[in-house]
Chains A and B, each alone.
Chain A
Amino acid sequence: MENNELALIYACQRGEAEAFGQVYEKYFKKIYSFVYYRTSHKESTEDLVSLIFSKALENINKFQSSKGSFSSWLYKIARNTVIDYYRGHKNIQNLDDIEDLSDFSDISDNMDRKKALSDIQNKLAQLSSNQREIVIMRVWEDLSYKEIAEIVGKSEANCKMIFSRGIKELRLSLASLIYLVMMLID
């Protein structure tokens, strides 16, 4: 962990508000995105993000740099909070309640392009949950394998392998799709 960040965390542990502000500023968007990718629902995301930062604040003294980075520690809280949410939440059964994540509105008017991206998301959804989680962490959240390993509780090598398998499946799956389209055109 960077020494600066570690110093900030120690300062948070001593209750220094300014240090906490800096940590919050650094991680707010990351944690918000992490949750949103998994809920795709603004209000739920806000509730969970509040809960995650509250838990982190309450437990900041339990953080030990010898056991991993602060980033992984915080993401782990986020992941666990989302898991708890799905185990216990009652009102998310109706898909209509959920905002569609496939927001490609910023991508001109090119319908083919939008369709291609939508296909990718659909294929991503067909991966096993383990593969999907790690692919998203690596590609969307730009987390290192070391961080991912600490968050999901697997070895770094195992995470790499799961990612590799996920990408291979996506590649084969998309290749089949293209082949099918070509056949239909012919």
Chain B
Amino acid sequence: MDKNIKKILEDLYSLDQSLKKHENELLKLIEELIASKPKIKFDENFKKELYLELLEKLDQLENKKNNFNFMKKLNYAFGALGVLLLILIPTLLKNKQPIANNINVNRPDDFKVQIAKLDKNAFGPLLANNIEPQREAVAGFGGGGGVAMDSPKMAAGSDMIWPGPMAYKYVYVGEDFSVDGLDMAVLKKINGLASQSQGAQILQNLNFDNINLQSLDNAKLRNFTVYEDKDFGYSVNVDFYEGMISINENWERWPNNIELLERVMKIDDMPADDKLIAMADKFLQDRNINVSTYGKPLVDNTWRYNYEKYADSGEFMVPDIATVIYPLLIEGQEVYEEGGEIQGLRVSINLRHQRVSGLWNLTSQNYQSSVYDMETDVAKILELASKGGAYYPFPEDSNTELIEVKIGTPHIAYTQIWSFENNVNSQLLVPALVFPVTEIPEQAQYFYKKNVVIPLAKDILGQRMEILMKS
């Protein structure tokens, strides 16, 4: 028996031993499946041409890197430090050193919102090489959305069903509004925790036979992971460089009960929101995680919309993970992704085990701020909003089904925009208007967008209007 087929069968049996009695049938089925794989004739010319195009692109990207040599050295330094940490962490665990007592993971101020004011337009033009086209289509899966792949199209001869092209037109049905006199600046996030150097200095004092850590110049601690070696233990990753702490299940020590994993989740398995929030709150309190810079927690119930719509078809299952979001607040304003999702600390709850399974996006909140001109022309803002906001729209033609989605009165918030310049990714928080989706028509299958977000900085909005006019 082929090694791969054997592995596939073993995996199937690990979930359901009773399948073993159908081994011959399964074997034949898997073999047929493999045999039915389409045969692809690769075009070598295309491959070569694309490679040359990409090399040219690489060259162009390189030319933009003013500080290339500096970054190169820095990367080597971090690479070396990474190797050292691989050696170091097992040693620490072996010696059962109380790690948290040795290193101050963060200073008290690291996770408080701190903003340093700079001059006007201090970050340069905000024109973006940072617009990520159509991320909305990507993020929806599991969270109640995802359009195209759920439109049942499949590479399978005559049974192929292709999703019809759909475009959404966002129709404003809210009240009149104005953005005159908006007093908000653009914020640029400063990554990293203050104790990077301090952490490295402590580690440098450890003695190794084969290497002298003290020989490193300007050493900084990039990240480390500690885990609980016990049932239902957690793994904690501290990323000093990004300024982020995350907690995950230590997978090896979470029971992998087949019956439990196989059981189809039912709507009754989903606890009420207040119970989920209480579980998340307790998890944070037990670990002394300060959430004072975050707003009132809410449960991500996006999945319910599609569940209610498609539950009868059996196509949509109740998720086995629930997420509680603690919205990030910067000077009292919420922060949204460009796709319309609210940003914040996310606590996941594994419903099969009825336990918190992880925490993500607990980040340092150090920013610089700079005033930029904001767009006040409501007509322009609504025009961009009618196209869904921040993304490059796809051109429409006569085949496109245009679906109208209603959006209501906006509120002010920040939106997160990424900028890649000089080999460094920067996160900008730009004042924005957030238009809530108030009504989704029935034919908008697997629609999940909750908000249309329009960045107000003139540079960005102008650039996007330009793209819109060209499309």
Chain A residues with a Cβ under 8 A of chain B: 10, 13-15, 17, 20-21, 24, 28-29, 32-33, 36-40, 42, 46, 49-50, 53-54, 57-59, 61-62, 66, 79-80, 82-93, 95, 98, 100-103, 105-107, 116-118, 120-122, 124-126, 128-129, 132-133, 135, 138-140, 142, 145, 152-158, 160-161, 163-164, 167-168, 170-171, 174-175
Contact = CB atoms under 8 A, between A and B. Distances in A.
Contacts of B208: none
B154 A103 contact: no
B38 A36 contact: yes
Interface in B1-33: 4, 8, 11-12, 14-16, 19, 22, 25-26, 29-30, 32-33
Given A86-B151, A124-B156, A139 B55 contact: no
A61 B423 CA distance: 7
B159 A53 contact: no
Contacts of B162: 86, 92-93, 95, 98
B239 interface: yes
Contact of A125 (B53, B68, B156): B156
A125 B152 CA distance: 8
Contacts of A28: 47, 50
Contacts of A126: 159
B35 interface: yes
Given A160-B11, A171-B26, A87 B400 contact: no
Interface in B255-314: 256, 261-262
Contact of B32 (A50, A88, A120, A140): A120
Contact of B399 (A15, A90, A161): A90
Interface residue range, chain B:
35 or more
Contacts of B155: 36-40, 101, 121
A116 B394 contact: no
B232 interface: no
B394 A90 contact: yes
14 contacts: A21-B55, A32-B40, A33-B40, A50-B50, A57-B54, A86-B148, A86-B149, A86-B151, A86-B162, A90-B165, A100-B158, A124-B154, A139-B33, A174-B29
Which label, helix, strand, loop or mixed, suits the secondary structure of the A interface? helix
B22 A171 contact: yes
Contacts, number: 234
Nearest to B165: A90
A91 B399 contact: yes
Interface in B149-174: 149-167
Contacts of A132: 154
B163 A86 contact: yes
Contact of B134 (A17, A62, A87): A87
Nearest to A145: B11
A50 B53 contact: yes
A90 B12 contact: no
A28 B46 CA distance: 11
A14 B141 CA distance: 33
A122 B156 CA distance: 6
A124 B33 contact: yes
Nearest to A99: B38
B6 to A, nearest CB: 13
Contacts of B61: 15, 57-58
B373 interface: no
A26 to B, nearest CB: 13
Nearest to A85: B148
B153 A86 contact: yes
Contact of A122 (B16, B51, B159): B159
Interface string B50-66: 11011101110110010
Given A84-B134, A90-B399, A157-B256, A121 B156 contact: yes
B452 to A, nearest CB: 16
A138 B39 CA distance: 17
Nearest 3 A-B pairs (CB), nearest first? A88-B394, A86-B148, A125-B156
Given A88-B394, A121-B157, A138-B8, A128 B315 contact: yes
Contacts of A98: 160, 162
B108 interface: no
A66 B50 contact: no
A85 B46 CA distance: 20
A125 B239 CA distance: 43
B47 to A, nearest CB: 6
A82 B366 CA distance: 37
B71 A87 contact: no
A38 to B, nearest CB: 6
A43 to B, nearest CB: 10
B470 interface: no
Given A87-B163, A171-B26, 6 more contacts: A17-B59, A21-B55, A39-B155, A90-B395, A164-B12, A170-B33
A167 B26 contact: yes
A66 B154 contact: no
B54 A129 contact: no
A116 to B, nearest CB: 7
B368 to A, nearest CB: 21
B37 interface: yes
The interface centre, meaning the residue of B15, B32, B395 with most chain A CB atoms within 10 A of its CB, is B32
A84 B40 contact: no
A17 B262 contact: no
A10 B36 contact: no
B36 A120 contact: yes
B389 interface: no
Nearest to A138: B8
A140 B397 contact: no
Given A37-B38, A117-B32, A167 B150 contact: no
Contact of A100 (B26, B29, B157, B400): B157
A54 B54 contact: yes
A170 to B, nearest CB: 6
Nearest to B46: A46
